[in-house]
Chains A and B, each alone.
Chain A
Amino acid sequence: GAVVSQHPSWVICKSGTSVKIECRSLDFQATTMFWYRQFPKQSLMLMATSNEGSKATYEQGVEKDKFLINHASLTLSTLTVTSAHPEDSSFYICSAPLVGYAYEQYFGPGTRLTVT
């Protein structure tokens, strides 16, 4: 099956620092990946669509200067949370669609970010 990995699985950082989260499709290529944020006991909220070789598309209300997305290859997208603050603490999840007959999306295991 399709496997998506994320690294790190959890990270603690100090307020004002930047954190980079990697999302990799391990056994398939993904020209598009998606980044979600999930607050406790809530559903997933789409933050942005990451496009290989071009700029990401951000959802309304998501600060593109705070959440930098780079999709440098067909298997890797990165999300950098810049100048992190405690309110950025959350669970971040990426996904990638397996394109073909279906357009089934597969999700990474998530990254828990805590900003102190």
Chain B
Amino acid sequence: GIQVEQSPPDLILQEGANSTLRCNFSDSVNNLQWFHQNPWGQLINLFYIPSGTKQNGRLSATTVATERYSLLYISSSQTTDSGVYFCAVRQGGSEKLVFGKGTKLTVNP
């Protein structure tokens, strides 16, 4: 099956810093989503981005489908950005999302 790898596994920042999280996938996909899992366990949808670039406030994401990777950018990080960021993909013909192992982000004040 498809493999999804996220890097880095852990990231520690000072408030105000910028960061880039990466998601590599081993095969073509129909769907790619980025999620933020907050400290209470809720997965919050950040982006649905099978290709191209999207921006939402301080967050933006780019997926280069032909090269099988996606990047999540966080600018001017805040302590509330802390948590685990997951990338998940869906292949054609399947309804299932396959998750990466996540990047744990800690933003210190």
Residues of A within 8 A of B (CB): 1, 32, 34, 38, 42-44, 46, 49, 91, 93, 95, 97, 102-107, 109-110, 112
Residues of B within 8 A of A (CB): 30-31, 33, 35, 40-43, 45, 48, 86, 88, 90, 95-97, 99-102
4 A-B pairs with least C-beta separation: A107-B43, A110-B41, A104-B48, A109-B42
Q: Which of A32, A44, A49 contacts B99 (CB 8 A)?
A: A44
Bound complex: CA A108 to CA B100 (Å): 19
Q: B31 — which chain A residues lie within 8 A by C-beta?
A: 102-104
Given contacts A32-B95, A43-B102, A49-B96, contact A106 B86 (CB under 8 A): no
Q: Which of B43, B45, B97 has the most CB of A within 10 A?
A: B43
Contact A104 B95 (CB under 8 A): no
Main secondary structure of the interface of A (DSSP, over half): strand
Q: A44 — which chain B residues lie within 8 A by C-beta?
A: 86, 99
How many A-B pairs have beta carbons closer than 8 Å: the answer is 48
Q: Which of B41, B42, B97 contacts A105 (CB 8 A)?
A: B97
Given contacts A43-B100, A43-B101, contact A103 B41 (CB under 8 A): no
Bound complex: CA A104 to CA B88 (Å): 11
Bound complex: CA A93 to CA B40 (Å): 12
Contact A110 B42 (CB under 8 A): yes
Q: List 10 A-B contacts (CB under 8 A).
A: A34-B96, A43-B99, A43-B100, A44-B86, A95-B43, A103-B90, A105-B97, A107-B43, A109-B40, A109-B41
Q: B41 — which chain A residues lie within 8 A by C-beta?
A: 38, 91, 93, 109-110, 112
Q: A97 — which chain B residues lie within 8 A by C-beta?
A: 95
Q: B101 — which chain A residues lie within 8 A by C-beta?
A: 42-43
Contact B30 A104 (CB under 8 A): no
Q: A38 — which chain B residues lie within 8 A by C-beta?
A: 41
Q: Which of B35, B40, B99 has the most CB of A within 10 A?
A: B99
Contact A106 B42 (CB under 8 A): no
Bound complex: CA A11 to CA B42 (Å): 17
CB-CB nearest in chain B for A112: B41
